[in-house]
Structure 1
């Protein structure tokens, strides 16, 4: 033990005096709460995307047992998706320092030999490996998608979905195995019991009364040859907490209104504000990016095709303006975590358009098709309860101004509480009926 160990499987290889069961326990209990909320809000996001409705929006491939929780996403309150997805993205980014600190604190366990001393130990090691791998994968894919906008085109949703289930299953197993020990460690910490071994210059580590080697769960995290301390465990926890607070302050504002929007430096801003006046609020993709040409959206060329139980009608923008116009104050909320404040939209109710083709009594689902050529979600499917809501519009104006090309001129969908990508822009066709 006097020689400096060279292999990571040796306890003396890991010399940080900060590592210890109580440091790990505090981080673990924070993650127990935070990751549970993160997982639940993530499942809600998949329900909001209509994975149970039509293949066009199905982001749960083959559904199977993992689709057991799916339900019709409600339209009340109108800010529901803005809130749940804002919590999901902001909390996920805020927990990154806690997750990294937790993984750092338990890294000696990944190299410990023998691989399994008992069945319980083998289960703990397996859950730890899945937890580390799943955690890094889920957090990395989520953060990359938020920051770089569809970095995994066509594959992010199933990758993130299945990765989250693997990670959370390992997380639950690990929590069941380790939470009792974590609570015992915290009780000892409150009682003021020491967990660090007393190191003497000549004789190495010496257990003192109440020291970890004889009484603390997870004592194998403590180095038998700790390096000189540069920070206390409490200081390390303050550093992790301060890092999380910094990430929170620089992320949360894009999912809410107020002064914090100016501090949201790490959250995506949805691109530059297009135009001015009523259209001066965030977008996710421009008309140029989507491949929508001005010649297609002009008054002479553009027609909305509406199909339903009794046939098909074709409507110009002038025809739509002659129909009863209604207004709704609704936000745009994106999966990347940014959202707008309520914007005042004006247009034709979706249920009134359904009535034009014989579906007025009980509006059915609707399949929406866009002029968009590039990017994801060129099509969308809305549930019957969304079509029936009086605030669900085919919008022609916003905040008193005609829709700009980047906001979906000549017409776009706006539905309360729906993810932004289901509020289809540059609408070309509506097909009402069971999907």
Structure 2
């Protein structure tokens, strides 16, 4: 007697009679798949570009993980235009949120495939099932952990950045192979039903899809009466996507649009020149007024030479003012007017000019992003500053008083607040 009887599936979801929705079928799955073919590549590309913007090749910037064979970087992330990282991360989060309802609908449409019987028929079928497990598992892992990260809800017991990065490679590889295999079936399913013709069908005309050779396993063998049309289903999914798109876009664009993102976890931080969003407050970083009183000094280290500069001395140096965005990995950004001393001027004052990098260190001691490395491209850009003021007034303590880093197209976590040390080295 065989261990698994391929002709007798156990009761429940392993039997095709269990799945009775008349909406399921290759056409519905193909329409949802077409939408994902547009959205997921945008999310994937912007995600990998976001990782590149961190420049993990530079020491501490690879925080949380070691570089591996897939860490190949052909260029340093550009500093022009200054809003490049803000747009990249805004797209990553906004499109990712918009895609999520479509992804869930797609998984619902193909869920009978996950309960095929027998589970494995041949070696080729086993490989197909493995790729499907990687695709579904990878998709859920990436989107769920990404959304939790946006909400600062770290309910998992691992470091988000590392897991999300390697999960992205697994999911992207599985998605590309799955799309390549299923593309002919998608084209056939859409052509068989005249592309978007089913969208003209109301509830009374909704029937199970006609059989499609080689792709009829999703069509119910014992359908129940429909409770909604395919048009209503896709409209509901589309409305959910649009709602989440507005939430993401509101926090990414900012300004008057931020009020639309009422589910976003970060909003304006009070009123006045310092009244813009904050990821990490001084209290969270255990920074008090005593840490940044008149005794505070910025140490600029260049080899054997060390400068110890008070805030008054920094203010006495040539000041530059630029409108620059600060953009965080969670998708929000805001553009403010920053004033301070060029990092390149501080490097020159310490005796190093030309192709240099800068290691920053914060007074904070309880965070994984309390240090960063600025690339030579970032330092050579005159807009990369040790900022002392914002919008014409002193930085607030929560925004990094007495000094912080700001620069064009630099990820927010590299704009070190409560700056303590700036170590200049040859690139």
Q: TM-score, normalised by structure 1?
A: 0.89
Is 1:329 aligned with 2:323? yes
Match of 1:242 in 2: 239
Match of 2:413 in 1: 421
Is 1:18 aligned with 2:23? yes
Tell me, in whole angstroms, the C-alpha distance in 2 between the residues paired with 1:42 and 1:338: 15
- Runs of 4+ in structure 1 off by over 4 angstroms are 117-120, 149-154, 191-194
Aligned residues: 410
Could you tell me which of 420, 423, 427 is aligned with 1:431?
423
Could you tell me which of 9, 16, 22 is aligned with 2:14?
9
Match of 1:203 in 2: none
> Matches of residues 43-82 of structure 1 in structure 2 within 5 Å?
43-54=48-59, 56-59=60-63, 61-69=65-73, 71-82=75-86
Q: Tell whether the 8 Å contact from 1:254 to 1:338 is kept in structure 2 after alignment.
A: yes
Match of 1:279 in 2: 274
Match of 2:42 in 1: 37
Tell me, in whole angstroms, the C-alpha distance in 2 between the residues paired with 1:101 and 1:193: 20
Match of 1:320 in 2: 314
Q: Tell whether the 8 Å contact from 2:94 to 2:247 is kept in structure 1 after alignment.
A: no
1:344-398 CA-partner distances (Å, limit 9, x unpaired): 11110000000011112x0401000000122331111110110111101001111
Taking a change above 3 Å as real, the CA distance of residues 407 and 325 of structure 1, as seen in their structure-2 partners, is same
Task: Give unmatched runs, 5+ long, in structure 1.
Answer: 195-205
Taking a change above 3 Å as real, the CA distance of residues 149 and 365 of structure 1, as seen in their structure-2 partners, is farther
CA shift for structure 1 position 111: 0.8
Report the 3-state secondary structure (helix = DSSP H, G, I; strand = E; otherwise coil) of the residue aligned with 1:97: helix
Could you tell me which of 215, 218, 238 is aligned with 1:218?
215
Tell me, in whole angstroms, the C-alpha distance in 1 between the residues paired with 2:171 and 2:17: 30
Tell me, in whole angstroms, the C-alpha distance in 2 between the residues paired with 1:53 and 1:147: 28
Taking a change above 3 Å as real, the CA distance of residues 413 and 149 of structure 1, as seen in their structure-2 partners, is farther
Q: Tell whether the 8 Å contact from 2:359 to 2:371 is kept in structure 1 after alignment.
A: yes
1:193-233 CA-partner distances (Å, limit 9, x unpaired): 99xxxxxxxxxxx99xxx743x3442110110001101112
Q: Tell whether the 8 Å contact from 1:351 to 1:363 is kept in structure 2 after alignment.
A: no
Q: Tell whether the 8 Å contact from 1:309 to 1:359 is kept in structure 2 after alignment.
A: no
Q: Tell whether the 8 Å contact from 2:355 to 2:426 is kept in structure 1 after alignment.
A: no
Match of 2:336 in 1: 343
Tell me, in whole angstroms, the C-alpha distance in 2 between the residues paired with 1:246 and 1:346: 37
Is 1:106 aligned with 2:110? yes
Taking a change above 3 Å as real, the CA distance of residues 70 and 159 of structure 1, as seen in their structure-2 partners, is farther
Report the 3-state secondary structure (helix = DSSP H, G, I; strand = E; otherwise coil) of the residue aligned with 2:65: coil
Match of 1:199 in 2: none
Q: Tell whether the 8 Å contact from 1:46 to 1:59 is kept in structure 2 after alignment.
A: no
Q: Tell whether the 8 Å contact from 1:78 to 1:417 is kept in structure 2 after alignment.
A: yes
1:72-127 CA-partner distances (Å, limit 9, x unpaired): 11111100110000110111111111111111111111111123445554443222
CA shift for structure 1 position 62: 2.8
Tell me, in whole angstroms, the C-alpha distance in 2 between the residues paired with 1:114 and 1:6: 13
Task: Give unmatched runs, 5+ long, in structure 2.
Answer: 1-9, 199-206
Match of 1:311 in 2: 305
Q: TM-score, normalised by structure 2?
A: 0.91
Q: Tell me the C-alpha RMSD between the 2 structures.
A: 2.2
CA shift for structure 1 position 60: 7.2
